[in-house]
C-alpha cells in the first residue's frame, strides 16, 4: 500500500455488453523507466482473474505530452493494430522516457522531462460469463534480466446478460 493512495486497484474500467471474442483496447498506463537502460516489454498478461485474454499490446509516445497536446487512447472496440496513431503491434515495445523527475508517491512528473510512453492493452472475453481481473502483469527485459511489473488496473468485460455490480446500466 502506498500512503495517500487508495487500496489497489488504483484505476479500472467496466465495459458493458461484450460478446465473447469482441476486443476492447484500453490505454492503461503511462510508463517510464527509472534508469538509463534499455527496457523492452515482452508480454502483458492478466494477473489472475478469469475469462480475460490479452490479445495485443503496444506503446507509443504519450500524446498528452506532445505539442499540440492530444488525447490518450481511453478505450475503444477497434482492434489495437487498426488504431494506429503511433501504436504498432508485433514489434519490440520499448520504454524510453526516464522518470527520474517523478514524485515518488504519485508518479506524476515534477518538471520538464523526456516523453514517456502510453501502454495500450487489447483484451477479449474468453468465457460465456463476465471476464474480469484486478490488474495486469507487464513482463519486461533489461540488460540485467527479465522482470515483472504488476499494474493494479482493474478490467471487467461484462457479458450482455450481466446487469450486476459494475455491469449495471
Q: In the Cβ-directed half-sphere of 54, how many Cα atoms lie within 13 Å? A: 24
Q: H or E segment at 136?
A: strand 136-142
Q: What is the pLDDT of residues 147-160, one digit of tens each?
A: 999 988 889 999 99
**Percent of the chain's residues with pLDDT above 90:** 50
Phi-psi map region of 110: left, alpha, beta (phi>0 left; psi -120 to 50 alpha) = alpha
Q: Where are the domains of the chain?
A: 11-167
**Cα-Cα end-to-end distance for the chain:** 31
pTM greater than the 0.75 cutoff: yes
DSSP 8-state code for residue 19: P
Q: Give 137: exposed, middle or buried? Use CB within 10 Å, 0-12, 13-18, 19+.
A: middle
Q: What is the pLDDT of residues 8-21, one digit of tens each?
A: 556 788 899 988 88
The Cα–Cα gap between 167 and 110 comes to: 37
Within 10 Å of residue 147's Cβ, how many Cβ atoms? 12
The Cα–Cα gap between 9 and 6 comes to: 8
Q: What is the pLDDT of residues 51-82, one digit of tens each?
A: 999 999 999 998 888 888 888 898 999 999 99
- Residue 1's pLDDT is 36
pLDDT above 90 (res 124): yes
Amino acid at each position: 500500500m502506498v500512503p495517500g493512495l487508495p487500496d489497489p486497484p488504483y484505476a479500472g474500467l467496466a465495459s458493458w455488453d461484450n460478446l465473447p471474442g469482441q476486443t476492447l483496447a484500453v490505454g492503461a498506463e503511462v510508463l517510464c523507466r527509472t534508469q538509463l537502460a534499455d527496457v523492452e516489454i515482452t508480454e502483458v498478461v492478466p494477473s489472475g482473474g478469469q475469462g480475460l485474454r490479452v490479445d495485443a499490446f503496444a506503446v507509443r509516445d504519450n500524446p498528452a505530452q506532445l505539442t499540440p497536446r492530444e488525447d490518450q487512447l481511453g478505450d475503444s472496440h477497434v482492434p489495437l493494430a487498426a488504431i494506429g496513431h503511433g501504436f504498432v503491434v508485433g514489434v519490440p515495445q520499448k520504454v524510453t522516457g526516464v522518470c527520474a523527475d517523478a514524485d515518488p508517491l504519485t508518479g506524476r512528473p515534477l518538471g520538464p522531462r523526456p516523453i514517456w510512453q502510453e501502454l495500450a492493452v487489447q483484451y477479449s472475453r474468453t468465457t460465456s460469463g463476465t471476464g474480469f481481473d484486478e490488474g495486469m502483469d507487464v513482463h519486461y527485459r533489461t540488460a540485467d534480466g527479465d522482470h515483472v511489473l504488476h499494474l493494479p488496473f482493474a478490467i471487467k468485460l461484462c457479458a450482455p446478460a450481466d446487469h450486476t455490480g459494475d455491469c449495471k446500466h
